[in-house]
Structure 1
Amino acid sequence: METTDAYDGLECVDCGARFDPEEGTHRCDDCGGILDPTYDYDAVDLDRETLAARPFDSMWRYEELLPFAREAAVTMDEGATPLVECPDLADELGVGRVLIKDEGRNPTGTFKDRGQTVATTAAVGHGASDVALASAGNAGQAAAAYAGRADLDAHVFLPARAGFTTKAMVNVHGGDLTVVGGRIGDAGAAYEEAVEEHDDWYPVQTFVTPYRHEGKKTMLYEIVEQLDWEVPDAIVYPTGGGVGLVGMHKGATEFRDLGLIDEVPALYAAQATGCAPIVDAFEAGRDVHEPVEHPDTICGGIEIPDPGASPWILEALRESDGGAVATDDDEILDAAIAVAEREGIEMAPTCAAAASGAWELADRGEFDGDETVVLLNTGAGNKEADVLRSHLMGQGI
């Protein structure tokens, strides 16, 4: 396995146990906790001038702060997505600037590619022949795509409610697709049963592999560099499992500790009211969520009733002086359509929770009026155009 100079292993976020990157692959052997890649930051030689001299062509331009060398990566030049100025939205929210980080421009149309490029690179480095995961949809498509590029077999478990596009593209990329009746929990149970029967399958499941959140921290790196090293006042993120939120908080902390930025942006988790375990826990002052017994939202990508990393997510929100907000499905779909109409950017229904959440935060008086607010559009709107069109038809349009 070809690792970078500063990468020095994996650390359990629960018990602190440490593992060599050659041997550690997934959860902690001691307590079953989530593993997080760690670095010798004294060995990281990276400054603004060095980055300015590099092409803005891929998230792997930050390889000093990633586990694996760029030349070893299974990559399709993911990342380097645009940060789009949205003046009309800024006027509506009553803030100085609103920008949308448009992750729909990634190879398979979502930010899931950032996690899968690193996770698949790890799988290749560990000699895997097969990767496997359960997903609400987009991560399964990304896993199949990167597995195909790496000449691995992908086994993807999706709930029946996953969109047609993601189901179809798993097959198009050569993946072995299992559609499971019910919701994401049912797909997860089928995946776990299959993994028990196939010990040669290499899991690339959220927070089972240590590497998906590691890839997503590069969104933060890009945002601050695209803002000429000015840290945004707030980043609003559509939150299900919270992988990108945890990753961005880690990325901001790394950049701050390396002296590249002076502060960490306030991070806000945006959820749907029909499935808002992080919002409920944050507002109640709890350190861990309570599972949602009957989730009910059309936003399947954030319908995660039992997010396993909630203590880590809540810690990121509080340490960054951010918050959490939930809005109704109709408000989320209205926000997706409003962004498309006024700014031209296509947000998938799930992703538009960030826009709807930002409007709600503004209505609550969370912003003073001169802030720079970044919304994460985690996936392209054409992934679920039928949902948005149906919403318009329901309004007689």
Structure 2
Amino acid sequence: MPYHAWFQCISGCDEKYELNEIIYQCRKCGDLLEVKHDLSKLRRHSPEHWKKLFDERYRRTKWPYGSSVWGKKEFVCPNVDNENIVSLYEGGSNLFWAERLGKELGVEDLWIKQCGNAHTGSFKDLGMTVLVSMVKQMISEGKSIPAVACASTGDTSAALASYCAAAGILAIVFLPKNKVSHAQLIQPIANGALTLSLDTDFDGCMKLVREICSKNTIYLANSMNSLRIEGQKTVSMEIVQQFDWEVPDVIIVPGGNLGNTAALGKGFLMMKELGLIEKQPRIVCAQAAKANPLYLSYLHGFKEFRPVKAQKTLANAIQIGDPVSYKKAINVLKTFHGIVEQATEDELANASAQADRTGLFSCPHTGVALAVLIKLIKKNEIMRNEKVVVISTAHGLKFPEFKINYHENKLEEVIPRFANLPVEVSPRYDEIMTAIDRKLEKISL
């Protein structure tokens, strides 16, 4: 059955474009685009058919459907031929039952969706496989695309570089100088990307990459390109699939450029429209207090949205003051009775460390989401008996400086309540046992 998807303006001016067009904004009104699907054709199969098909494909070996993104190809990007799909077996990340952490915080059913357990260590892989595959499709059709470019605070550049390397396409990444971790910086370098270190912040990088791509045939890979959103929306579908097609009550996601917030809502809405689910969760967007334009808008009922100058924050991937997907995110939050809350540096660092003490290894952005969870529990906006999912967006190993500096009490504005430094002892039995006994005494108190 020939399924089909296309770009359509989000403002309602009904402008439509094919997915193989190099276009990021509506030519008529200048607003962002979104990918639309022919739902009438998808409805020719029952919800039970789609659930069974997706379950049969999930994490299997038949190309390309073992990928948890391409296993839902009909719902994501049916316009790409299978031979042009660039996949690194993305998706299928662990839905971790955080039983011990939940008990400490006051919720009985807490889950962490570990999107950082991915090929490049973040959820960005989910969107990049769709975008780079579509670029490869366009090149196969004769379009001249010499390179793909993005502005990044680290994770987007890593995903773009890896997928472009797999496809044999040049990646160009615009990074704010000295504002990404060493672990994040080395990823695009290792994968052969042209890595541009610019003395500006993410918003400055974003302005420049948009200018470069608008004046050349270099393809733009940031989340204003809604192909990325199509891959990222599979997080919603995967969570429900991992819960045997049941919907959780609350989902908390860190928010920077706000594409992920938009993507979560898009996935749930599509499943609801096609009958795969019957209810919707509440969606909570968690922002760092030093980069909080959506939170400030939420305080006034989203009556207006004003960009801010993002300040330096430990959650550097969401250090964004002028997010491109704010309209999409606001629409989702209004539809899903959403909440926006913020977290200070002290709150996000300690929330991340507390989670680590229960078996996780959380990035600072996940720390923002966890800190917001703690706040909402205390405010009784999240109840003890609700099933809650926190989206962990990246792997903690990408942020070793953050972890080390926390435990060594070197983070500004942070009092490390869960610091745990190595204990230096002589290589003697009695001194080792003394150290062990002291630790056991502290635990028993």
- Alignment partner for residue 78 of structure 1, among 80, 90, 105? 90
Q: What's 2:159 paired with?
A: 142
Q: What's 2:8 paired with?
A: 11
Which residues of 2 match residues 31-42 of structure 1 at below 5 A?
31-42=29-40
The structural deviation recorded for 1:193 is 4.3
CA contact (8 A) 2:126 2:231 kept: yes
The structural deviation recorded for 1:242 is 1.2
RMSD (Å), alpha carbons? 1.7
Is residue 350 of structure 1 aligned with residue 365 of structure 2? yes
Q: What's 1:98 paired with?
A: 110
Q: What's 1:130 paired with?
A: 147
Partner of 1:284, secondary structure, is coil
What TM-score comes out, normalization by structure 2 length? 0.84
- Alignment partner for residue 284 of structure 2, among 265, 268, 281? 268
The structural deviation recorded for 1:43 is 1.4
**C-alpha distance in 2, partners of 1:345/1:392?**
16
Is residue 304 of structure 1 aligned with residue 316 of structure 2? no
**C-alpha distance in 2, partners of 1:294/1:378?**
20
Instruction: Return 213-222 or 12-21, whichever deviates more.
Output: 12-21
Which residues of 2 match residues 1-397 of structure 1 at below 5 A?
5-14=2-11, 15-23=13-21, 25-44=23-42, 45=45, 46-56=49-59, 57-58=66-67, 59-68=69-78, 69=80, 71=82, 72-127=84-139, 128-160=145-177, 161-195=179-213, 199-207=216-224, 209-342=225-358, 344-394=359-409, 395=416, 397=421
Larger Rg: 2
CA contact (8 A) 1:133 1:140 kept: yes
Letter in 2 for 1:147: C
**C-alpha distance in 1, partners of 2:310/2:233?**
31
**C-alpha distance in 2, partners of 1:18/1:6?**
17
Give the total of aligned pairs.
391
**C-alpha distance in 2, partners of 1:346/1:135?**
23
Letter in 1 for 2:305: H
Partner of 2:272, secondary structure, is helix
The structural deviation recorded for 1:93 is 3.0
Question: Which digits, 9 at most, give the CA deviation of each residue in 1:231-279, with x for residues without a partner?
Answer: 0000000100111111110110111111110011110000111111111
The structural deviation recorded for 1:137 is 1.0
**C-alpha distance in 1, partners of 2:211/2:85?**
30
The structural deviation recorded for 1:293 is 2.9
Instruction: Return 6-15 or 98-107, whichever deviates more.
Output: 6-15
- Higher RCO structure (Cα 8 Å, ≥6 apart): 1
Q: Against the structure 1 CA distance between its residues 258 and 164, is the aligned structure 2 distance closer, same or farther, given a 3 Å change threshold?
A: same
CA contact (8 A) 1:60 1:70 kept: no
Q: What's 2:63 paired with?
A: none
**C-alpha distance in 1, partners of 2:317/2:196?**
18
The structural deviation recorded for 1:182 is 2.7
Which stretches in structure 2 are left out of the alignment for 5+ residues? 60-65, 140-144, 410-415, 422-445
**C-alpha distance in 2, partners of 1:183/1:279?**
20
The structural deviation recorded for 1:16 is 2.8
CA contact (8 A) 1:100 1:377 kept: yes
Which stretches in structure 1 are left out of the alignment for 5+ residues? none
Runs of 4+ in 1 over 6 A off after TM superposition: none
